[in-house]
Amino acid sequence: MSTIEVAGAQVDTRHWINGQRVASSETFTNTSPIDGTFLGEISRGGQAEADAAVAAAKAAFPAWAALGPKGRGEILHRIADLVEANLETLAQLETMDNGSLLRSHRRGVMPRVAMNIRFFADWAINELHHEVFETRGHSNNISWDPSGVAALITPWNAPLMLATWKIGPALAAGDTVVLKPAEWTPLSASYFADLTKQAGLPDGVFNVIQGYGREIGAALVANPDLARISFTGSVPTAKVIARAAADNLTPVSFELGGKSPCIVLEDADLDLAATLAVEQYDNAGQVCLSGTRILVHENIADAFAERFREKASQIKQGDPRDESTDIGPQIHQVHFDRVKGFVDRANAEGQNIVMGGEPNEELGGLYFKPTLVKNPTPGSEIVTSEVFGPVLCMQTFTSDEEAIAMANGTEFGLAAILVSGNRERADRVAKQLVAGTIWVNCFFVRDLKAPFGGSKKSGIGREGGTWSFDFYADVKNTVVSPTGWKE
Ligand code: NAD
């Protein structure tokens, strides 16, 4: 069966290559993390499918590039219209496939998917210009030209949202695309491919290939015909991709993991601080940006911990389709076991697990309780490694300098949350934090115009606004002499 019905939607389980559905002889099984429901058998591609998709994208490139930002923008807006028209279906589908909250998919994520596409389509039309400047009478004319085929490799924690954060600027820049979604969440990308066809996107401009990272993913990133590789995922996979990209000197953009701090200074509004800290359990902790290390000033630690406990005890874990649910399951048995492994090892080391620390037996399946580890041993695994589950650590500090040193003391640098009642102090501390995004007295406020990315091991490059086009486009300077003209 090449089409399955999920949450009322018909979803094709095959690859999408050159505007056609292409099956592989082998498949892999896709189940819902909500309750283990079998969703379907998905085409498991390899070298041949990766090569075919890149070849299709390469052939489609010249015409797509020649269309220009306005022509491309019209089609991209039609895709966004179709995302909006199918918003409920996409929301239900994504929830079944990745177990994130249906209410967030409806109200936040899927509207954002449409916005990702519109925003970058418009940015290419209106914002990609640079003032012409002169060098000894010669004019410098800077342009953002299409670069070729972009391979986009995405994770499972926010599948279509993270994919369109790349698809939008890549297509708007005039590149053609081969998308490899995560094998645990193949469905929304496949459904999206049908929408691109309905919107009139020419065949071959957008391709989706399904399968395992180590198989079709590895074949894709090794292809010498790629102009760009944009990857969101884990640090170990990024290292493998970087090695493959090095052989062809393919430029890479990496959005990777984190172990971000959530710093609560002595003068913080405690209620706000506790609210922000508890939000770090969102999406069952499967958020790259999560501030999983709560660093709190010693003098307010007890009062803060009490508020945190009160708020955390109100988190309702359950079926993500239920409007009243706050957090759902882990994505997959393999990931659940990984998260549990971190907590079990912390337990065995004698770390102080004061909340959760175990699967939610009442719910069964892949539901792991929100967990808090207090005062973990500095340098221990639980406080240095990315768990990517509902596991937070709480530590204390006695001075701003100590907080800064602790905050910066991991290999990551994706984000930091800072809670303070004093603007000057917050500004001084924020300046010394090493991370791509610092949120002061807030969390997750993210404008597509702003740069986004990680410092240190959390990534290479920045995306958002013109930063996205600096990556996907070939930035060119045409220097024109004042002499030599005949007319
Ligand atoms: P992952 O690295 O295991 O997989 C990500 C993608 O890479 C998947 O599509 C996978 O199939 C593919 N892949 C795996 N091996 C490959 C290979 N050899 N060649 C090519 N592709 C390959 O990551 P994950 O478990 O899916 O996602 C979780 C990670 O992603 C966490 O570390 C998280 O922090 C990170 N993440 C980062 C951001 C960000 O914006 N910085 C956002 C979301 C998730």
pLDDT digits (tens, 9 = 90+) for 20-73: 999 999 999 999 999 999 999 999 999 999 999 999 999 999 999 999 999 999
Q: In ligand 1, which atom is closest to the CA atom of 458?
A: 41
Q: Report d(CA 190, CA 462) in Å as an integer.
A: 27
- Chain segment 384-433, per-residue pLDDT in tens: 999 999 999 999 999 999 999 999 999 999 999 999 999 999 999 999 99
Measured in Å, residue 450 CA sits from the centre of ligand 1 at: 23
Catalytic residue among 215, 255, 266, 386: 255
Write down the catalytic residue from 183, 288, 386, 393: 288
Specify the pLDDT at position 359. 98
Closest Cα to atom 8, ligand 1: which residue?
A: 182
Question: In degrees, to the nearest 5, what angle opens at C-alpha 319 toward C-alphas 316 and 324?
Answer: 45
Rounded CA-CA distance 15/176 in Å is 16
Is 255 catalytic? The answer is yes
Q: Is the CB of 183 under 6 A from ligand 1?
A: yes
| Exposed / middle / buried, residue 201 (Cβ in 10 Å: 0-12, 13-18, 19+) | buried
Q: Tell me: the pLDDT tens digits for 236-258?
A: 999 999 999 999 999 999 999 99
Tell whether ligand 1 has an atom less than 6 A from the beta carbon of residue 221: yes
442 is catalytic: no
Mutational test site, ligand 1, from 237, 255, 335, 463, max ligand atoms within 8 Å of CB: 237
* CA–CA distances in Å: residue 179 to residues 16, 129, 403: 10, 28, 40
The two tokens of residue 383 are: 């406080």
Q: Give the nearest ligand 1 atom to 233 CA.
A: 30
